[in-house]
Amino acid sequence: MSEQNIKLLTVERDCEAVLIPSGDPIKLLKGTHVRITQALGGDYTLYVNGNLVKISGENADAIGLKPTAKKEDKEIDYTPGDAVKEDWVWEQLRTVYDPEIPVNIVELGLIYDLHLEEKEDGCHVGIKMTLTAPGCGMGPVIAQDAESKVGTVPGVKSVVVEIVWEPVWERDMMSDEAKLQLGMM
């Protein structure tokens, strides 16, 4: 574990957060002490007062870190009117993490379908994904994270993420890389 994860940090300004695993929105108040337990995909999972919470990378400055890049900061060779490349969408999906699992949703095998439809006004992206557990309160948060991050791809006009339950997710759907990272190989 890095020294940053062990170090006690103080929240420098009030910021929005999400309680894990319920998915309930909360506010972290200035002066609250936290520890980073996971920093992946530009977002942070924090340990605070016996609970885990997730904050968006946009709020990283609240814990003394640099906020993640905005849409206009991305370096993709795109000219308006060009078709959106599917690889760009997959790249963004690989930056989405369940805040309790240090593996992205693509490697976890949670993305069941990805569809890009080019129209005159831009690219419309449809994603079907599942969760590791049907009762996961973080499902809407993870889906919103995927929607937001894919929405940063130049040329993408809209993103719709649908959570589906068939087929039922199983550990065999994870990539070998994910299994190795989680100590399952």
Domain boundaries, the chain: 3-63, 78-181
Domains 3-63 and 78-181 share a fold: no
- Catalogue the E-assigned strands of 11-166: 15-20, 25-28, 33-40, 43-48, 51-55, 111-119, 122-129, 156-163
Structure tokens at 57: 């990378």
Write out the chain's pLDDT in tens, 185 residues. 444 557 899 999 999 999 999 999 999 999 999 999 999 999 999 999 999 999 999 999 999 999 876 544 456 777 777 888 999 999 999 999 999 899 999 999 999 999 999 999 989 999 999 999 888 889 999 999 999 999 999 999 999 999 999 999 999 999 999 999 999 87
**CATH class of this structure's domain 3-63:** mainly beta
What class, spelled out in words, does domain 78-181 have in CATH?
alpha beta
